[in-house]
Amino acid sequence: MAQTVERRLTAPAVARNRDPILAVLRRILPPDGLVLEVASGTGEHAAYFAAALPQLLWQPSDPDAVARASIAAHGTAARLANLLPPLDLDAAADRWPATRADAVLCINMIHIAPWAAAMGLFAGAARLLPAGGVLYLYGAFKEGGCHTAPSNEAFDADLRARNALWGVRDLEEVAALARRHGLDHAETIAMPANNRSVVFRRRAAGMDAP
């Protein structure tokens, strides 16, 4: 449950996952350029990662107005030249308020939104990224149609009870969707608490899927 400090929301999971995620980002993100974060939520990740990776320009976003207020408040408190104000970006929309990005990040969103958001995420990332550009996902995934831990199975049941269109996604289905949009699955990294980092790379135009 997120807590409020003025307009700054905090999600306890962020303090637990930000350093393991940052260790992956240091390895897979480009040395400089623009990073578009989809579904920034409280904005804590954006402020933390922008501070840790000052050579990257960080663009947070969220379709929820309360989240955007929190992202903006964290941004103001962080006083970072490389952290931009949040965009109103719905991954499922045909048009995004961003025209390019050197990398796209999406943490803990595709299981807590309808599948249309995942479809829009890959379509949008494919439009924005250059050849070789990274789309990074973090969250719980099924592998081979099976949950990777009892805690993820319980989490999935809870998500589906809250909204029948939500649920932990199958990594192979996600990778197939990515492939159809010209994004190839590059690697999966096991993370604490049975989560996964999943890295996709934009295929060069005219190249066939491997």
Contact footprint for ligand SAM (CB under 6 A) = 11, 14, 38-42, 45, 62-64, 67, 90-92, 107-109, 112-113, 117
Contact in structure between 71 and 8 (CB atoms under 8 Å) = no
**Spatial CA neighbour of 155 closest among 171, 143, 168, 170:** 168
Q: What are the backbone angles phi and psi of residue 12, rounded to the nearest 5°?
A: -55, -30
- In the bound state with ligand SAM, the residue whose beta carbon lies nearer, of 14 and 183, is 14
Rounded CA gap, 12 and 25, in Å? 20
Rounded CA gap, 205 and 210, in Å? 13
Smallest distance, ligand SAM to C-beta of residue 100, A: 18
Contact in structure between 46 and 106 (CB atoms under 8 Å) = no
Smallest distance, ligand SAM to C-beta of residue 40, A: 6
Smallest distance, ligand SAM to C-beta of residue 16, A: 11
Smallest distance, ligand SAM to C-beta of residue 187, A: 20
Q: Which residue is nearest to ligand SAM (CB)?
A: 41
- In the bound state with ligand SAM, the residue whose beta carbon lies nearer, of 41 and 133, is 41
